[in-house]
Amino acid sequence: MLFGIARLLDISLQVGGGPPDWNTIIPLTVAGLIPPTFVPAIVATVLYALLRLFLKQRARRIFQVVALVAMLLSFGGPLSLDVSTANKMILALMHLATAAAIVWALTLRK
């Protein structure tokens, strides 16, 4: 949704190119959204399952704290890019939305 909003606002989203040269800026495509969304979701699911297995009652709170720290650290990527402020803000909002959706799906929905 944020990707579409950026397009409507004529904000060309750009991201770091990844290995071997993280400083290369490349355009973000819809297909480029899939790995940075699903990989954290899979890692979070495995982590939460392990926490529930070993820590039972405290698993949810510990997971939420770990997720918050991970989300805050994830802002380092978009905010350190040499791109426009609007680009940085949309990318940061994407990180926030992804983290919120993952935490909600794993710990808050009924």
Q: List the structure tokens of 41.
A: 């979701």
Complete DSSP assignment for 67-103: HHHHHHHHTHHHHHSSS-HHHHHHHHHHHHHHHHHHH
Instruction: Kindly report the pTM of this predicted structure.
Output: 0.88
In order along its 110 residues, the chain shows pLDDT tens digits of 899 999 899 998 999 887 777 778 999 999 999 998 999 999 999 999 999 999 989 999 999 999 999 999 999 999 999 999 999 999 999 999 999 999 999 998 76
Query: CA-to-CA distance for 84 and 108, rounded, in angstroms?
Result: 34
Domain boundaries of the chain, sorted by first residue: 2-108
Strand partners, 27: 14
Report the Cα 55 to chain-centroid distance in Å: 25
